A and B are shown apart, each in its own frame.
Chain A
Amino acid sequence: MAEIVFAAGAPHAPGLIGLLEAAPNDVKDVVIHTYRTLAERIRAAKPDALIVFANDHLANSRVRAYPDFLIGMAEEHSGPHEWFKPWIGCDDYTVKGDRDLAEKLFHGLNRRGIRMFAQHENLYFDDNISVPVLLTDLNDGSIPMVPVLQNCTVPPFPDQYKSYEAGKALGDFIREDLPSDMRIALLGSGGLSHEPGGARYYFIDEEFDRWFLEASASGDHEKLLSELTIERMEKAGVGGTTELLAWIVVLGAIGPHRGESFGYVVHKDFKCGVGAVHWHLDQPVT
């Protein structure tokens, strides 16, 4: 039985790279510490591979033919896609892929009734993958990555219950289909509250963010799922906050566990609430 050895959720706002230098020192310190902590903890877990679920942001498919889950099967993932480079303000990077794991994931989830799409070609990555990769140095070649780009914003998209079901299938796939000594890390990339492209572009819903971080760290998944409705997320920022559904996939995979919420910070120019949760896999909630 393969094992999930690391699970976390963290935002990927582009400003965390391109606008970080101009941010106040206290904000900068929190952001750097948050992603350094995640980087250290991922490596301490000694995973064989990292699977990242992240909002696709309409980067890869037309709106009328939009997959709910798109797996990157490339041997190597390069990013960002050229148009996003100045917007993120980052350098080019390459991350080792894991084609075998990606293929198994594709088959394993489809067999479990979760419709997956997959591409051998390099996917177009914007901030969704680029920001966590660069802030945790995943481009150092130490951990292969399989990206799964999720439809978090093109209606109708999988809601909190469907995302959790996808996560349960993911957990079952990891435990039942992968080699018994394999160690898998999971990251939900996205959130917190934000409204990209909306009239409230600069709005950050601190009350929602703090509630979500605490609720997702509590391990009470039934309560979290009943309260984290699409309507509630949209109230906290239309078209952006729902990318927290990528965190819900991770929660479905690990099942109820307590987590540690850390690094919450509000900085208007980021246009997005920032904070992470690392779930303690040795602290199940029964």
Chain B
Amino acid sequence: MDLKDFDPSLATHDLIQDLKWNPPLRDEFAANEAAVLDRYPLREAERKALEARDFRSLYDLGLHPYLGGQLARLIYGNEAGKGATVAVNKLVESLTGGKAE
């Protein structure tokens, strides 16, 4: 993995930034993810990867890994030593196809 794959035009970047910056949007994402995704100009493969929690495909499409880490926390949990650890392990599993260390 390297930053050469980074594609700033990918709308998932905006989705993640908005989720970080906007607590009501986070609540809506948790309650009705599809309705939130509908508002972003996501490519078909991008949306499928988001729905499948397929970080490997999102990175291959050009998602910046730093925001990938934040997306994992938005989905799996954001608390130090708790949900945030689950998020790291789920992300690494998706990226490596195996278990995290």
Contacts and interface: CB of A to CB of B under 8 A. Distances in A.
Interface of A: 14-15, 17-19, 22, 57-59, 62-64, 81-83, 86-89, 124, 153-155, 195-199, 201-202, 234, 238-240, 268, 271
Contacts of B2: 234, 238
Nearest to B101: A202
28 contacts: A18-B81, A18-B84, A58-B17, A58-B70, A59-B20, A62-B13, A63-B8, A63-B17, A82-B23, A83-B20, A83-B21, A83-B26, A87-B78, A87-B79, A87-B80, A196-B66, A197-B68, A197-B69, A197-B70, A198-B1, A198-B65, A199-B1, A201-B69, A201-B100, A234-B2, A238-B1, A240-B66, A271-B88
Interface residues of B, number: 35
Nearest to A235: B2
B6 to A, nearest CB: 6
A268 B92 CA distance: 15
B13 A199 contact: no
Nearest to A156: B3
A268 to B, nearest CB: 8
B92 A58 contact: no
By Cβ-Cβ distance, the 4 closest A-B pairs, closest first, are A18-B80, A197-B69, A197-B65, A89-B80
Interface of B: 1-4, 6, 8-9, 13-14, 17, 20-21, 23, 26, 64-70, 72-73, 78-81, 84, 88, 91-92, 95-96, 100-101
Contact of A239 (B64, B73, B95): B64
Nearest to B3: A155
Nearest to A242: B3
Given A62-B14, A199-B95, A201-B100, A15 B68 contact: no
Contacts of A64: 8-9, 13
B40 to A, nearest CB: 13
A239 B88 contact: no
B79 A58 contact: no
A83 B6 contact: no
Contacts of B14: 62
A104 B66 CA distance: 32
Contacts of B79: 86-87, 89
Contacts of A63: 8, 13, 17, 64, 67
B62 to A, nearest CB: 10
B72 to A, nearest CB: 8
B3 A58 contact: no
B80 A154 contact: no
B67 A58 contact: yes
Contacts of B1: 198-199, 238
A87 B65 CA distance: 17
Given A234-B3, A238-B3, A197 B84 contact: no
Given A19-B80, A63-B17, A155-B4, 11 more contacts: A17-B80, A58-B70, A81-B20, A86-B78, A87-B79, A89-B80, A155-B3, A198-B69, A201-B92, A239-B64, A239-B66
Contacts of A17: 80
A201 B88 contact: yes
A199 B68 CA distance: 11
A88 B80 CA distance: 6
A168 B14 CA distance: 34
Contacts of A155: 3-4, 6
